Amino acid sequence: MIVYTRVGSPLGDLLLVGEERPDGSAALRSVSLPEQKGGAVVQEAWRSAPATFTAVAEQLDAYFAGRRTRFDVPCVMPASATEFQQRVWRVLDDIPYGTTVTYGEVAARIGTSGAGVRAVGTAIGRNPLLVVRPCHRVIGADGALRGYAAGPERKQLLLGWEGALVR
């Protein structure tokens, strides 16, 4: 069963979508904002189930309050995710709180370079787990904030919370 809820955050109301688990919790499929490029849209067959997202909501609250630097929630990989996207997303999961890396560094970590940097950017842009999978920590080689589905002002806000230095 696909379940969802909305939770408030300093970025705006986040839409959490997940698969209900036997223990009553949800494995996350998506975290997005309503106006976000490629964000989830509630479907008629989904069920509103705020209680299934208690652990996720608590961790998001702790992150925005500066008490959490990493998320520990079960996630579901989208069936449509390519092997390449999954490799890129695993690199994102390992970028430490308060730091940034460049798109080129992500490409190098997965063994791609040159034209592959553009493909890395595309894969990052398709990250379904806003904030939880920290794609906001990837910046341009010149230090500029490049592409963020929720908008560059939110990327700057997140990096500011984390104390990451961005030009």
Q: Which amino acids are annotated catalytic?
A: 135
User: Could you give the CA distance from residue 104 to residue 114 in angstroms, rounded to a whole number?
Assistant: 8
Q: Are 1 and 45 in contact (CB under 8 A)?
A: no
Q: Which two tokens stand for residue 25?
A: 């919790």
User: Can you spell out the DSSP letters for 103-160?
Assistant: HHHHHHHTT--TTHHHHHHHHHHT-SBTTTS-GGGEE-TTS-----TT-HHHHHHHHH
Q: Let me know: does 76 contact 27? Beta carbons within 8 Å.
A: yes
